[in-house]
Structure 1
Amino acid sequence: MTQPPPPPPNQPPQGGGFGSPQPQPQDQPPQQPPAFGAPQPPSTPPGPPQQPGAGYGYPQPPQGQPQPGYGYPQAPPSPPQQAGYGYPGAPQPPGPYGQQPGYGYQQPTVPLHPQAGQPGQAGGGRKFNAQVAIIVAAVVAIALIIGGGVWYSKSSGAGGKDDTASSSGGTGDGKGGAEGPSKGTEKVPADPNSEVLFQIPRPKVDKDDSVVVTGSWLTDKVYAKTGVAEIVGYDRDKGTKLWTIPLPGPVCEATQHVTADGRTAVVFQPKMPAKNSSEGCSQVAAIDLNAGKKLWTEIATSGDQPIHFDNVTVSGSTVAVGSTSGGAAFDISSGKSLWTPKPADTCYDAGYGGGAKLVAVRKCGQFEAREIHIQTIDPKSGKVISEYKMAKGIEYASVVSTDPLVVAADVGDSAGDGSGISDFFSVDNKTGKLRARISAPGDSYAAECDGISRIEECSGLAVGNDRLYVPTEEQDSSGDLGRTNSVVVFDLASGKQTGQRADAGDGYTMTPLRMDGGNVIAYKSGPYDKGGQIVSIDGGSFEQVKLMENPGTDSVRDVESGKEPGYGEVLYSQGRLYMSEVYASGSSSGDKYLAIAFGVKG
């Protein structure tokens, strides 16, 4: 895992959280509102470090230097020294009374809509220094990690009748259960060579400014993408505008989860901020992607002040938002409040993982003596169904998958690269007990998470078949084209590798995007004269089938390379690939496009 951009700083005090009371945190470090990180640059070739400046959330790129999206993006910005549009300020250790905005766009367990692709991110997958203040004492706590809890009846992930939560099984043979992995739905085209369907111009932004444009979604009716204080729906094949939802301020957070009827959620600022300032990410809205409508806008308060939220997710019919002031939830159809932070709470829901189930990352205790509770909760009431307590001293955790439940953390800051991952924790769905702990050293594996505030923002990996699919770091290729990597598999029951491996090939690097039934959909970045590819990896045999190969012309590659996993958001479904930026810059450098769409000819 390569070195990421600096971490987002924290937000001003907001108050308590939702759930059973725990010991009151004391003496928290002062908080500063953070800046959204720019996309993670590729390992080759890095450019000169950028310097920060003003922007709607993201650090401002310097004048005269190429921006992400123009061929190979440049190196990440150095730690901010001045405020930006959104969340300025230097990083500070977080506490329960300081707010940290984030970019809650992470690798889901299973898409809620059959056509919904997933970011290779985080757009999706920009690396952040997610371990600003993880303490060395946590290393000692590694051996003390234990699990416990009880499962009860819960609401189904689709918001239907109650059922009993199940525990995903596996045989340990790499086949994903006794009957093997299920079949995927992605069709193999007769001709995988693609053509550019359309390109969306980059929105106009004042010179030397940058604006957060995180969020892209795909249904069977529309491709939707966040613009500057708006969300726009496009025809999937032609790129013509179908609808526009104006917003009073920039989008701060977007969930990748989409319900079966095409609904999702975002968090945004109440108005356009003045330069070097922020209005706070306090507004929560549900969006009907198929109809092109904003269903409602709501806020939650701590005392008489609106809470600034760090992340947003969707599970069933519930929109859940988290922060260092606690969590809140709303009905996705009506906006009805389901829960808000309780004044008496001494712990807080820092954020949630959504999709098939709703999982809270709940934090208790003082900074540098933190205890994290991973709680599967009822999405209708917030009632705790099961709980796994991580070892004391682990400061940050990310939800990789909610069913099966997989959590990532950088224990004792031992990853050493700011990726946010030293270990994965597989937790039993019925009991809340630890099934397996998987060591994933940062110098060996290339997945990444931002557990500081974004909770669900993990990228470059996939979970399915009771397996965890992780890319290795790049290494020298035996061929003539330089570097390559592989995707390897861990069994979630035993924590051991299954022995399966998919090699990217000479000059290619491979990044898992999502599951397709029992198969893994992955993006392959090619050498300088080749376009990217989409492949399907069979969950049983682990054989690769090419679903798409993009044009290798310089003009197309200049656009595609700046939006690959690790830089932008990547969505693939049924012969259509959509790649987009996560911020828009006013700089004259760059490829001038917010998004590009590819389609196979057959």
Structure 2
Amino acid sequence: MLFVVLGLVVLLAVGAGTAWLVAGGGSATDSGSGGGAGEWSVPLASADSMDFTQGLAFAGWLTDKTVIRVQRDGVLAYDLTSGKRAWGTPSPGDQLCGATSGLTNGKGAVAYGSDQLCDHLAGVDAATGKMTWKIKIPAEKSRLANSLTVPRIMDAGDVAVVYANDVLSGYRLSDGAKQWTAQLPQGCHIKDMNTAATRVALLLDCTFEGSGGLVQVLDPKTGKTELRSKIGELSLMSLMLSADPLIVRQEEGDKSTFTVLDDRGAKASEFTTGKVDMLAMNTVAFVEGMFEQRRYLVQGGRLYLTTFPENVPGKARSSDKVLAFDLKTGKQVWESSGTQPTMLNLVRADDHGLLALEVGDWRDLPPRLVRLDAATGKAAEVAQLPQKYGTEGDDARVFERNGAVVIVPWTPVAVKHAVVYVHTKES
């Protein structure tokens, strides 16, 4: 059983040193299966290992020229056109142990350390792989044998927000300069947090002070408090689901309540759903915390959720549905099952609707890129991918750009590839 501990990741330590766990480059093919105009993939060298921490990805980054995978032994970039290794930067310490989820102006940050202490942060230039700065950050040794406690790292504009050893600080991505350390109300602790380009949103538990829950918003450049809002008593499973707009999710049994706050901290809407899927896609055995990646999207005044997965009768796979909610009214706009009974991985949303990957099954159902209509949720196939990549996109970061689908699995559980690239006939 896994217990979520904010900001902490526990990695199974497996001795000193690292091994390059991903093959040197992709194997390019011109496959006629599934409509792929151009296709390559990178095998995951640790796919058959029972130590699932070996191939765990801390981040998947996409630039104009490369897809970048940040994992335990280093940061690896692959050319989008050919799949060849563009560059590779090994961890400066025994292992990497965290990363910003995205890039800002081509810059990201990674955490690294020894096999016992994750106590450094480094800046990464995504164009070259060069680590442009390195600093020491707060850290603590795990109380558990053969494990490592590491920080949660999130990006907020050009600032890396780091939560470690009960300390929340902001570091400038350009040079690693410390910008601030957060000040919390007395008697309160951080239960969850999230970031946006211009905002750091904290969900605080102040039960011992008699205040219940608070939402506190910080300026990522200065760390100064911009607003505080009382949210009432918090349930055990409470999340700061979104920083912009501010959305708090609380779970009670098989129901979830979502509270939306406006920019002044006042309640804009509140609605309750049935059981939705808030399981983290990037956790494996011996790994707890990180910035957890979940199956939902917030875009254009909409909250897109997925229902809890159910088994497909007669098949060795699960399926779910997408729910769309209007954040102003709290009303459900539509429910969609996609085009096939399978899991859906949400890629992005815009005015035209929601783009998603139907994960499929390598046995009998090819993955499909589908678009769910903004008004109705009706699903239409955009492109079909080769069947051999079925299930690779289940627990994965999925990108789409100009007809190219890029899949970066978070974990090595039940997958064989570190990166999958398919250029479809759609553009």
Normalising by structure 2, we get a TM-score of 0.78
Contact 2:192 2:204 in 1 (8 A): no
Matched, 1:564 2:393: yes
User: In structure 1, what is the equivalent of residue 347 of structure 2?
Assistant: 513
Cα distance in 2, alignment partners of residues 397 and 328 from structure 1: 22
The number of aligned residues is: 397
Letter in 2 for 1:295: T
User: In structure 2, what is the equivalent of residue 246 of structure 1?
Assistant: 90
Letter in 2 for 1:575: G
User: In structure 2, what is the equivalent of residue 382 of structure 1?
Assistant: 223
Matched, 1:409 2:405: no
Cα distance in 1, alignment partners of residues 182 and 203 from structure 2: 12
Shift of 1:482: 9.4
Cα distance in 2, alignment partners of residues 511 and 266 from structure 1: 25
Instruction: Name the CA shift for 1:9/1:339 in 2 (closer, same or farther; >3 Å).
Output: closer
User: In structure 1, what is the equivalent of residue 299 of structure 2?
Assistant: 464
Provide Cα deviations, 1:156-186, integer angstroms capped at 9, x if missing partner: xxxxxxxxxxxxxxxxxxxxxxxxxxxxxxx
Provide Cα deviations, 1:171-219, integer angstroms capped at 9, x if missing partner: xxxxxxxxxxxxxxxxxxxx98226622213246996544233211111
Superposed counterparts of 1:430-441, under 5 Å: 431-441=264-274
User: In structure 1, what is the equivalent of residue 20 of structure 2?
Assistant: none
Cα distance in 2, alignment partners of residues 343 and 488 from structure 1: 35
SS at 2:374 equivalent: coil
User: In structure 1, what is the equivalent of residue 36 of structure 2?
Assistant: 194
The structure whose residues are more often strand, as a share, is 2
Cα distance in 2, alignment partners of residues 599 and 399 from structure 1: 35
Which of 99, 108, 120 matches 1:283? 120
Cα distance in 2, alignment partners of residues 470 and 365 from structure 1: 28
User: In structure 1, what is the equivalent of residue 129 of structure 2?
Assistant: 292
Matched, 1:550 2:378: no
Shift of 1:233: 0.9
Superposed counterparts of 1:210-289, under 5 Å: 210=52, 211=54, 212-247=56-91, 248-259=93-104, 261-268=105-112, 270-271=113-114, 273=115, 279-289=116-126
Provide Cα deviations, 1:75-101, integer angstroms capped at 9, x if missing partner: xxxxxxxxx789xxxxxxxxxxxxxxx
Cα distance in 2, alignment partners of residues 206 and 233 from structure 1: 23
Contact 1:351 1:455 in 2 (8 A): no
Shift of 1:318: 1.1
Instruction: Name the CA shift for 1:545/1:594 in 2 (closer, same or farther; >3 Å).
Output: same
Shift of 1:471: 2.2
Cα distance in 1, alignment partners of residues 237 and 331 from structure 2: 24
Contact 1:368 1:393 in 2 (8 A): no
Q: Which protein, 1 or 2, shows the higher relative CO under an 8 Å CA cutoff with sep ≥ 6?
A: 1
Instruction: Name the CA shift for 1:9/1:346 in 2 (closer, same or farther; >3 Å).
Output: closer
Identity over the aligned pairs, expressed in percent? 20
Letter in 1 for 2:384: E
Provide Cα deviations, 1:495-522, integer angstroms capped at 9, x if missing partner: 1212x23332343343423224553111
Cα distance in 2, alignment partners of residues 512 and 280 from structure 1: 35
Cα distance in 2, alignment partners of residues 222 and 544 from structure 1: 30
Instruction: Name the CA shift for 1:475/1:584 in 2 (closer, same or farther; >3 Å).
Output: closer
Gaps of 5+ in 1: 12-32, 37-54, 57-83, 87-190, 274-278, 416-420
Matched, 1:594 2:422: no
Provide Cα deviations, 1:514-565, integer angstroms capped at 9, x if missing partner: 224553111112354121111222323534343321122xxx14xx41x323
User: In structure 2, what is the equivalent of residue 359 of structure 1?
Assistant: 200
SS at 2:344 equivalent: strand
Letter in 1 for 2:175: S
Cα distance in 1, alignment partners of residues 373 and 159 from structure 2: 33
User: In structure 2, what is the equivalent of residue 175 of structure 1?
Assistant: none
Cα distance in 2, alignment partners of residues 456 and 514 from structure 1: 19
Cα distance in 2, alignment partners of residues 591 and 395 from structure 1: 32
SS at 2:377 equivalent: coil
Provide Cα deviations, 1:202-245, integer angstroms capped at 9, x if missing partner: 24699654423321111112100124421011101211111112
Matched, 1:491 2:337: no
User: In structure 1, what is the equivalent of residue 401 of structure 2?
Assistant: 573
Gaps of 5+ in 2: 17-32, 143-147
Contact 2:366 2:386 in 1 (8 A): yes
Cα distance in 2, alignment partners of residues 228 and 382 from structure 1: 30
Which of 232, 235, 238 matches 1:397? 238
Cα distance in 1, alignment partners of residues 344 and 44 from structure 2: 27
Contact 1:222 1:234 in 2 (8 A): yes
SS at 2:10 equivalent: coil
Provide Cα deviations, 1:321-380, integer angstroms capped at 9, x if missing partner: 124512011111111101125699654446542233322325344689884422222111
Which of 168, 178, 182 matches 1:337? 178
